[in-house]
Amino acid sequence: MQGVITPLIMIIAILVSLTTMSAGLIWMERRLLALWQDRYGPNRVGPFGLLQVVADMLKIFAKEDWVPPFSDRFVFILAPAVIMSAVLFAFAVVPFAPGISVIDLDIGILFFLAMSSLNIYGIVLAGWASNSKYSLLGGVRGAAQMLSYEVFMGLSLMGVVMLVGTFNLRGIVEAQQGLWFFVPQFPALVIFFIAGLAETHRIPFDLPEAENELVAGYHTEYSGMKFGMFFVGEYLGIVLISALITTLFFGGWLGPVLPPVIWFLLKTMFFIMLFILLRAALPRPRFGQLMSFGWKLMLPLSLLNVLATGAALLLLA
């Protein structure tokens, strides 16, 4: 029994802390955005406005769980669940610290890529099942954008994989004892970060939900907790990408003095804040610009990075 109970406790602890953290991020994003835009942001409910999230959550849970009569009922309900579960499954391979991870898969990176490609279904099905033109356009945009950026998201990681010789995320962290990989793999870091922005469809790449053209894009027809799941799913995606940047390029839990988990959290928090700063700083491109930027600039760059890494490894070997 011991062999089942310990992993179960680990899974529950990680799930609870992740969902709480991403709900807390909503408050953090609003406060930080306000700071960068010379406003106060939510500062009335509780100390520093921290209880604002609790109030919002209570409100969203109490809202009527409404399904539009013209929608495809079952897929409509399924789509938010797909988003949440795909992101949460991807966290299973993230090594938070030695001994703190759900599963130590040999194909860790590939598992993450697989889950992020299944994530597309949430958006596509939500857009299609809503049976409304704005939702459908958002869904189509989301599918095209995420499919394209996934290609070189995977390619950018291959440089790291070539350096270490394994897809195992724990192995990758341990290989960074001497040198964090953002030094030899700086182009890969930039490409992965941009692809991560597109995968989580955050500003500047939030075209699937561009509010000035598509109302709210693929989740236009959603309300109540189903909308809340899209919302929390988006923040979970940010946490996931930040955690992976930390793991792959910034030495994961490695660091002096402080305990490993604290190092991991600190580094992840830094990248989450970078995501929020980008939202405060950048405008949104047109969809054509987004696609041509991806295929004409990022794809050749990531291929060049793989080529250069391979050549360097051959020369040094």
Which residues contact another protein by CB under 8 A? 3-4, 7-8, 11, 72-75, 78, 85, 89, 92, 102-107, 110-111, 113-114, 117-118, 120-121, 124-125, 127-128, 131, 136, 139-140, 143-144, 147, 150, 154, 167
Q: How far is the CB of 298 from another protein (least distance, A)?
A: 17
Q: How far is the CB of 144 from another protein (least distance, A)?
A: 8
Which are the contacts of 66, defined by CB distance < 8 A and separation ≥ 6? 223, 224
Distances (CA, A) of 273 to 26, 28, 70, 203, 269: 12, 9, 39, 13, 6
d(CA 198, CA 194): 6
Judged by CB, which is closer to another protein: 222, or 263?
A: 222
Which are the contacts of 231, defined by CB distance < 8 A and separation ≥ 6? 26
d(CA 9, CA 2): 11
Distances (CA, A) of 67 to 59, 77, 125, 136, 205: 18, 8, 15, 17, 28
Judged by CB, which is closer to another protein: 89, or 293?
A: 89
Q: How far is the CB of 100 from another protein (least distance, A)?
A: 14
Judged by CB, which is closer to another protein: 153, or 197?
A: 153
d(CA 203, CA 128): 23
Q: How far is the CB of 68 from another protein (least distance, A)?
A: 12
Judged by CB, which is closer to another protein: 51, or 67?
A: 67
Judged by CB, which is closer to another protein: 41, or 237?
A: 237
Q: How far is the CB of 113 from another protein (least distance, A)?
A: 5
Q: How far is the CB of 198 from another protein (least distance, A)?
A: 15
Judged by CB, which is closer to another protein: 43, or 85?
A: 85
103 contacts 92 by C-beta, under 8 angstroms: yes
Judged by CB, which is closer to another protein: 111, or 275?
A: 111
At 214, which amino acid appears?
A: L
C-alpha torsion sign, points 120, 122, 125, 129: negative
Q: How far is the CB of 196 from another protein (least distance, A)?
A: 16
Nearest CA-CA partner of 124 in 110, 107, 104, 138? 138
